[in-house]
Amino acid sequence: MKAAVLNAFGSPLAIETLPDPLLGTGEVIVDVMASRVLAYANEVLGGQRKYMLELPVVPGPGAIGRVRATGPDATRLRPGDWVYCDPTVRSRDNALSPDIALQGLTAGSEGGLHLQRYFHNGAWAEQMRVPTENAVPIGAIDEKDAIRWCALGTLLVPFGGFLAAQLQAGEIALVNGATGSFGSAAVAVALGMGAQCVVATGRNEQALAELTGRFGARVRTVPMRGHEAEDRANILQAAPGPIDCVLDILPPAANAVQARTAIMAVRPYGRVALMGGVGMLGGAGLDLPYPWMMRNCITVQGQWMYPPHATVLMTGLIRAGLVNLDHFEITAFGLDRANEAVAHAAAHSGPFKMTVIQPR
């Protein structure tokens, strides 16, 4: 099979011919039709993010594809089925605290690195091997729509945060960092889940205005100026009522004060999900007042990625028209142009912009 291979951090991807992946028990071989390119893929491949990723490797977290073959333990999947290849691979030998690796991207721990050594190569190839549970059926689609369904990989991340924070229909949600690709997707997801209103914060006022234009009056935007008390007051003023749920999805360049500004706008008994990159580049930690958390019964939860059943639920929201894939502006590249795709994704990031590689 043909694949894009990273042989050294900072070097261009090499288009090589590799052996087809071999099928084992508990595994599925998928013909990859499309895989999204993260906006920061260039930083991962260049080594700046220092992700736990052993080389050489075929990058590419997540894909839309068709089942080629299944192992003997598969009871429902059939060759030809359309599936989302979930990159969130969990170890199977510790149900309480499974190690996690993002196939084709990073390992979260030493245990995750051990897992990555087996489920090693990602989706920028004509075929890939995934655990059976990671080939999630999405139902029949037209082949030309495979690139649109790559948006699952973007939508599922904030969806995991809202599931962790138990967002309920009719509640008011706050998305802190709503102007990036994951943050803007979080706004769409919260609305699709039935939020009464979404308060969207960010520094890019043009991107905030576009969110209002795209989704209407259910979105209230708040430009963040960097003054904690003033910014929080503006958040509370914009919300039509007490804020039930906060999703913080700020990028690594943001600081802890930006996160705290939004977190402390949540109502008593409110819930907070932390999914962003605050602190990954150093700096002060998240300083939340103990008395405020205790006396107001605040729940703060960290959430990496999403639970295994999230893809099934998100597929249902898309099928029902509650989350619309047409929001995404897509630029597609063939596998031979994988390096161009990585550069394009970095230069054209932002709300509802998606770069995709089509190996076939």
Cα-to-chain-centroid distance, residue 256: 21
Query: 41-84, pLDDT tens digit by residue?
Result: 999 999 999 999 999 999 999 999 999 999 999 999 999 999 99
SS (H, E, C) the chain: CEEEEECCCCCCCEEEECCCCCCCCCEEEEEEEEEEECCCHHHHHHCCCCCCCCCCECCCCCEEEEEEEECCCCCCCCCCCEEEECCEEECCCCCCCCCEEECCCEECCHHHHHHHHHCCCCCCECEEEEEHHHEEECCCCCHHHHHHHCCHHHHHHHHHHHHHCCCCCCCEEEEECCCCHHHHHHHHHHHHCCCCEEEEEECCHHHHHHHHHHHHHHEEEEECCCCHHHHHHHHHHHCCCCEEEEEECCCCCCCHHHHHHHHCCEEEEEEEEECCCCCCCCCCCCCCCHHHHHHCCCEEEECCCCCCCHHHHHHHHHHCCCCCHHHCEEEEEEHHHHHHHHHHHHHCCCCCEEEEEECC
Question: What local confidence, expressed as pLDDT, does residue 282 receive?
Answer: 86
- Domain boundaries along the sequence of the chain: 2-151+328-358, 157-302
Query: 86-114, pLDDT tens digit by residue?
Result: 999 999 999 999 999 999 999 989 999 99
Query: 275-299, pLDDT tens digit by residue?
Result: 999 998 888 899 999 999 999 999 9
Categorize the per-residue pLDDT at 31 as very low, low, confident or very high, splitting at 50, 70 and 90: very high
Q: What is the average per-residue pLDDT within 260-285?
A: 94
Question: Domain 157-302 falls in which CATH fold?
Answer: Rossmann fold (3.40.50)
Phi, psi of 149 (to 5 degrees): -70, -10
> What is the Cα gyration radius of the chain?
20
Q: Would the CATH topology of 2-151+328-358 be identical to that of 157-302? A: no
Query: 190-249, pLDDT tens digit by residue?
Result: 999 999 999 999 999 999 999 999 999 999 999 999 999 999 999 999 999 999 999 999
Question: What local confidence, expressed as pLDDT, does residue 283 receive?
Answer: 85
Q: Do residues 184 and 207 touch, judged by C-beta distance below 8 A?
A: yes
Q: What is the average per-residue pLDDT within 168-182?
A: 97
CA dihedral sign of residues 313, 180, 200, 291: positive
Q: Do residues 333 and 355 touch, judged by C-beta distance below 8 A?
A: yes
Please tell us whether the domain made up of 2-151+328-358 is placed in CATH 3.40.50.300: no
Q: Which residues contact 300 (CB under 8 A, 6 or more apart)?
A: 263, 271, 272, 274, 288, 293
Q: Do residues 32 and 125 touch, judged by C-beta distance below 8 A?
A: yes
* Whether pLDDT at 17 is above 90: yes
Q: Do residues 121 and 1 touch, judged by C-beta distance below 8 A?
A: no
Q: What is the average per-residue pLDDT within 146-158?
A: 98
Q: Do residues 259 and 231 touch, judged by C-beta distance below 8 A?
A: no
Categorize the per-residue pLDDT at 138 as very low, low, confident or very high, splitting at 50, 70 and 90: very high
Question: What local confidence, expressed as pLDDT, does residue 284 receive?
Answer: 86
